Amino acid sequence: MDFSILEKKEDYIQKVTDVIGSHNKNILLVAPSISDYKEILNIFSDWKVNSRWDVVLCPHPATNVNAIKLYQQNYYPHLKIIYETSLRTFELISASSLVICGYSTTAVEACFFGVRSVRFVNLGTFPIFDYEEIIPVFHDGKSFKKWFDEQSWDINISDTEKLAMDKLVERYFYKIDGKSANRMWDFLNSAPDLPHNKKLDNLSSAS
């Protein structure tokens, strides 16, 4: 898949590195939605400080970042988290090695950049996405830690992983080429049974 936004990926990585200062470190991006930051932090609470990783949390724009900080500091003060609000989520994703979110399209967007992603959700939560093998789902910190330790973080993702990510992105987003509006109107204009086309037909007949 050849999307023009990927041409700027190195620029995004450099920008994120300059802002956060994560030189020679992997970035683990925590990207909660509006109301799932508590369950994500609860599951993430087993995380141990790792000198090779920086944990960065990018809150949803509609969320009060101070509320997230307060919750984390009250319940999990051992977690060392960088709270970042000046960078856009896709910029942070492009510079990350792993993205953690809940039931959000962020997990799929990470695949667009060739970045691994996982979902943290409470057991029993109704799934709003189909399960995708390329995006594991975790309900507790221990199972995530086991999976995390089994991964090879010092090498790039395999061609097989990248192919699976590309197929997933294409299935969810079809084509990211800036021409979605054109395709929509082409479809609408080609459907004779739609009201606006019937009206045009009537006007043509009347003239």
- Residue pointed to by tokens 């979110």: 101
Q: How confident is the model at residue 177 (pLDDT cuts 50, 70, 90)?
A: low
36-87 pLDDT tens trace: 999 999 999 999 988 899 999 999 999 999 999 999 999 999 999 999 999 9
Query: Does the pTM of the predicted model rise above 0.75?
Result: yes
- Residue pointed to by tokens 């709270």: 83
Residue 200, pLDDT > 60, answer no
Q: Is the dihedral of CA 62, 103, 170, 136 positive or negative?
A: positive
Lowest mean pLDDT among 64-68, 154-158, 172-176: 172-176
Supply the pLDDT for residue 143.
97
Higher pLDDT, 129 or 202: 129
Is residue 125 packed enough to be buried (19+ CB in 10 Å), middle (13-18) or exposed (0-12)? Answer: middle
Q: Is 141 left (phi over 0), alpha (psi -120 to 50) or beta?
A: alpha
Residue 128, pLDDT > 90, answer no
Q: How confident is the model at residue 109 (pLDDT cuts 50, 70, 90)?
A: very high
What gap in Å lies between CA 177 and CA 194, rounded to an integer? Answer: 26
Identify whether the C-beta of residue 131 lies closer than 8 Å to the C-beta of residue 141. no
What gap in Å lies between CA 172 and CA 90, rounded to an integer? Answer: 17
Residue type, 35: S
Higher pLDDT, 54 or 130: 54
